[in-house]
Amino acid sequence: GESVGLHLPTLSVQEGDNSIINCAYSNSASDYFIWYKQESGKGPQFIIDIRSNMDKRQGQRVTVLLNKTVKHLSLQIAATQPGDSAVYFCAEKSNTGGFKTIFGAGTRLFVKA
Amino acid sequence: NAGVTQTPKFRVLKTGQSMTLLCAQDMNHEYMYWYRQDPGMGLRLIHYSVGEGTTAKGEVPDGYNVSRLKKQNFLLGLESAAPSQTSVYFCASSKANTEAFFGQGTRLTVV
């Protein structure tokens, strides 16, 4: 299940199960959204993105859902693997914000073997 | 293709010392960013640049300065380091409205 840790929310899932990571974004003018994965000691890496004219986009084992009405993003990972253990961040961009990328707080995903 | 390269990777400073972190990208990106990440936290935007010769403040700009004299380089300066600036610093670059590519980070400790 999902719990709130000292700083980062944490999600623990069993290997092979599906994971759902949620994110609330702040700027209603944001029109581009990105999910990043950050492994320990490394910089964030791009996973998948979605623009505001879409509500769903699929990649390899990952799906992003966008609900603009409630300013909510989710990342779904199918058949979660131990290598998926990392911190996941959503980020938003807006051309009214000078295209700067603003990050959400992040969720730590633990995959139990 | 190197992508985004940050130097140095580690640094220890005494309170009051100054230093410059260098970020270089070889992707011809217009946008460059500096973030800080504190333990167990997300990334907070310090300053960013939308092109050569331009800079803008992010969420937490105080105590930092930046310069973008060349398109491929974005420098982050600390004029008088404070313990509160102990953090991991990440540089990133992007095209206008696409994903950002990140460097490997600089771990800075101010004692």
Q: Which of A62-71, B20-29, B39-48 has the lowest mean pLDDT?
A: B39-48
Q: Which of A52, A101, A107, A108 to mutate to test the interface with B (most CBs of B within 10 A)?
A: A101
Count CB atoms within 10 A of the CB of residue A51.
12
Q: What is the mean pLDDT of residues B4-27?
A: 97
Tally C-beta pairs within 8 A across A and B: 69
Which chain A residues are Cβ-neighbours of B48 within 8 angstroms?
Answer: 98, 100
User: What is the residue whose two structure tokens read 């707080």?
Assistant: A105
pLDDT at B1: 60
Q: CA-CA distances (angstroms) from residue A88 to A20, A45, A104?
A: 11, 9, 9
**Chain B residues with beta carbon closer than 8 angstroms to that of A41:** 105
Q: Which of B41, B90, B97 is opposite residue A43, by nearest beta carbon?
A: B90
Interface check for A10 against chain B (CB to CB < 8 A): the answer is: no
Interior angle at CA B7, CA B2 and CA B11, nearest 5:
150
Residue A31 has pLDDT above 70, yes or no: yes
The pair of structure tokens assigned to A52 is: 């505001």
Q: Is residue A97 very low, low, confident or very high in pLDDT (cuts 50, 70, 90)?
A: low
Can you give the pLDDT at residue A98? 62
- Are residues A88 and A77 in contact, defined by beta-carbon separation less than 8 angstroms? no
Strand residue runs (E) in A2-69: 2-4, 9-14, 19-24, 32-38, 45-51, 56-58, 62-67
Residue in A closest to B30 by C-alpha: A99
What is the CA A35 to chain-centroid distance, rounded?
4
Distance CA B31, CA B54 (A): 10
Question: Any idea which residue has 């989710």 for tokens?
Answer: A74
Say what the pLDDT of residue B78 is.
96
